[in-house]
């Protein structure tokens, strides 16, 4: 039995993780071209137009709207479908606040569906159980590049006549049954923030095949100004924010889009090998990726069975870290509905509990235990980083360290 690094043994990983340059001369050339246009406004320049065309073509979508962030994209999608005060929107309890922000700014009510214990994505049956006459949309999060069960979710949405918005912020080039995540629902939303597969600093996109939704999204991202005719119409029909993409962002985004397939292919090759290697280790429950799915691994998560593993998740992660592996106690600190703003009903500043004080007459409470499977995932998951620059050595070291640490605790159960 090898002595663990945490107890003074030799470290498994002695070389630094692979890194590389994300931006190059293509981004620079496009930036120069954008500046030479003498305008950085999306409606006058060509960069945002080129980017949206390229993005739509890549995804085989009829329409694409560029925005200022992934958060903005989801808000725009909600605005386009007409989500307003008191409407309910079903989403995931394990996600970034970006999935929720638009719902809350529309004064709508987030309703959380529980998760599949192994994909960590929303469970279709739980979604269906949360649908009420007030449900307007489902924001489906494809967590960490792993697609949710879109056939089932779309079937349920159609049955109940609710919209499906796909949050693909973490899921470029990922497919379910051969079809891209982002093209199953009514609208797909993406992020270009600096931590995503591709980056333009910040930025977002939405794709849709519905012309009405496209027109409304285009307007909603631009103060609800209507630029579709020859004159700009500024007599707006209802409130909308300014979430426009600018030409500099689009210039970088065009060049980044040329890289996205290669980036995702590298992450997929790395992630698939890591995923395969984690099967059969007592106490480690690998993530579930459907046979019909292609995952583009924004990160990789698995859960631990502490009793079988012989130690706590916390000690396991500490031991992995000591071996030189980048590992975390999960992705977010708790389920989203357990954040202070939901528990304390302080969504908006000031002395209001709106809309949780009972927009429909009954107060809304978010409580521990609302989504028990998601809470269990939060308590037991381990997050590993995946990156297109990681090497075979990084992969080998990660697998070796996990096996070494698990074997030690298996043999020395507390
Ligand atoms: C699942 C998910 N949704 C939405 C967002 C929001 O994207 P952005 O940071 O571009 O606003 C993120 C970003 O981290 C995300 O991971």
Decide whether any atom of ligand 1 lies within 6 Å of the 146 Cβ: no
CA distance linking residue 91 with residue 77, whole number of Å: 14
Contact 302, 143 (CB under 8 A): no
**By alpha-carbon position, which residue is closest to atom 4 of ligand 1?**
98
DSSP 115: B
Ligand 1 centroid to Cα of residue 21, in Å, is: 22
**By alpha-carbon position, which residue is closest to atom 8 of ligand 1?**
70
Decide whether any atom of ligand 1 lies within 6 Å of the 91 Cβ: no
Determine the pLDDT at residue 351.
84
Residues 6+ apart with CB under 8 A from 35: 248
Ligand 1 centroid to Cα of residue 70, in Å, is: 5
Decide whether any atom of ligand 1 lies within 6 Å of the 166 Cβ: no
**By alpha-carbon position, which residue is closest to atom 5 of ligand 1?**
98
Determine the pLDDT at residue 361.
80
Decide whether any atom of ligand 1 lies within 6 Å of the 171 Cβ: no
Determine the distance from the C-alpha atom of residue 91 to the mean position of all C-alpha atoms in its chain, rounded to a whole number: 12
Is residue 44 in a domain? Answer: yes
Determine the pLDDT at residue 334.
98
CATH number at residue 186: 3.40.640.10
DSSP code per residue over 234-269: -S-SS---B-BPPHHHHHHHHHHHHHHHHHHHHHHH
Ligand 1 centroid to Cα of residue 77, in Å, is: 14
Determine the pLDDT at residue 115.
98
Is residue 269 in a domain? Answer: no
CA distance linking residue 111 with residue 120, whole number of Å: 17
Decide whether any atom of ligand 1 lies within 6 Å of the 144 Cβ: no
In the chain, which residues have pLDDT < 70?
none
Determine the pLDDT at residue 173.
98
Decide whether any atom of ligand 1 lies within 6 Å of the 256 Cβ: no
Determine the pLDDT at residue 413.
82
Is residue 34 in a domain? Answer: yes
C-alpha dist (Å) from residue 305 to 84, 313, 372, 381: 42, 8, 16, 9
Q: Which domain holds residue 42?
A: 25-258
> To test the ligand 1 pocket, which listed residue (89, 174, 193, 195) has its Cβ within 8 A of the most ligand atoms?
193
What total of structural domains would you count in the chain? 1
Element (H, E) at 277: helix 247-277
Model confidence over 71-117: pLDDT tens digits?
999 999 999 999 999 999 999 999 999 999 999 999 999 999 999 99
Is residue 364 in a domain? Answer: no
- Tell me, yes or no, if the pTM score tops 0.95: yes
Is residue 338 in a domain? Answer: no
Is residue 406 in a domain? Answer: no
Decide whether any atom of ligand 1 lies within 6 Å of the 193 Cβ: yes
Three-state SS for 88? strand
| Ligand 1 atom at minimum distance from 298 CA | 16
| Ligand 1 atom at minimum distance from 141 CA | 1
C-alpha dist (Å) from residue 253 to 198, 317, 347: 8, 36, 33
DSSP code per residue over 352-365: --TTTTTTTSS---
**Alpha-helical regions (H) of 278-388:** 306-309, 313-322, 340-343, 372-380
Ligand 1 centroid to Cα of residue 237, in Å, is: 28
Is residue 254 in a domain? Answer: yes
Q: By CB neighbour count within 10 A (0-12 exposed, 13-18 middle, 19+ buried), where does 115 fall?
A: buried
Determine the pLDDT at residue 362.
84
Determine the pLDDT at residue 359.
80
Is residue 374 in a domain? Answer: no
């Amino acid at each position: 039995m090898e002595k663990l690094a945490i107890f003074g043994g030799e470290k498994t990983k002695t070389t630094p993780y692979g890194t590389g340059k994300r931006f190059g001369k293509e981004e620079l050339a496009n930036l120069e071209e954008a500046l030479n246009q003498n305008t950085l406004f999306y409606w006058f320049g060509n960069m945002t137009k080129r980017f949206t065309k390229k993005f739509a073509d890549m995804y085989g979508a009829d329409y694409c709207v560029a925005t200022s962030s992934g958060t903005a994209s989801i808000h725009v999608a909600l605005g386009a479908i007409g989500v307003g005060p008191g409407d309910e929107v079903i989403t995931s309890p394990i996600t970034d606040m970006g999935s929720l922000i638009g719902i809350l700014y529309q004064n709508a009510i987030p309703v959380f569906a529980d998760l599949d214990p192994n994909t960590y994505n929303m469970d279709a049956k739980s979604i269906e159980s949360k649908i009420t006459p007030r449900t307007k949309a489902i924001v489906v999060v494809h967590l960490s590049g792993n697609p949710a069960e879109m056939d089932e979710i779309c079937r349920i949405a159609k049955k109940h006549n609710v919209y499906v918005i796909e949050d693909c912020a973490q899921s470029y080039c990922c497919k379910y049954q051969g079809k891209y995540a982002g093209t199953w629902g009514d609208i797909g939303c993406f992020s270009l923030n600096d931590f995503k597969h591709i980056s333009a600093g910040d930025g977002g996109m939405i794709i849709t095949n519905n012309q009405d939704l496209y027109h409304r999204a285009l307007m909603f991202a631009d103060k609800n100004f209507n630029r579709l005719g020859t004159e700009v119409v500024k007599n707006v029909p209802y409130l909308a924010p300014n979430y426009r993409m600018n030409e500099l962002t689009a210039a970088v985004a065009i060049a980044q889009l040329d890289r996205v397939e290669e980036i995702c292919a590298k992450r997929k090759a790395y992630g698939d090998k890591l995923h395969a290697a984690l099967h059969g280790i007592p106490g480690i429950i690998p993530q579930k990726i459907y046979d019909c799915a292609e995952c583009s691994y924004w990160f990789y998560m698995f859960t631990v069975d502490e009793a079988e593993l012989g130690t706590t998740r916390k000690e396991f992660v500490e031991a992995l870290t000591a071996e030189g592996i980048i590992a975390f106690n999960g992705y977010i600190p708790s389920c989203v509905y357990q954040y202070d703003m939901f528990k304390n009903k302080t969504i908006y500043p000031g002395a209001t509990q709106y809309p949780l004080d009972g927009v429909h007459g009954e107060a809304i409470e978010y409580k521990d235990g609302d989504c028990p499977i998601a809470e269990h995932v939060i308590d037991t998951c381990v997050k590993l980083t995946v990156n297109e620059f990681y090497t075979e050595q990084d992969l080998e070291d990660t697998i070796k360290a996990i096996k070494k640490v698990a074997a030690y605790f298996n043999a020395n159960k507390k």
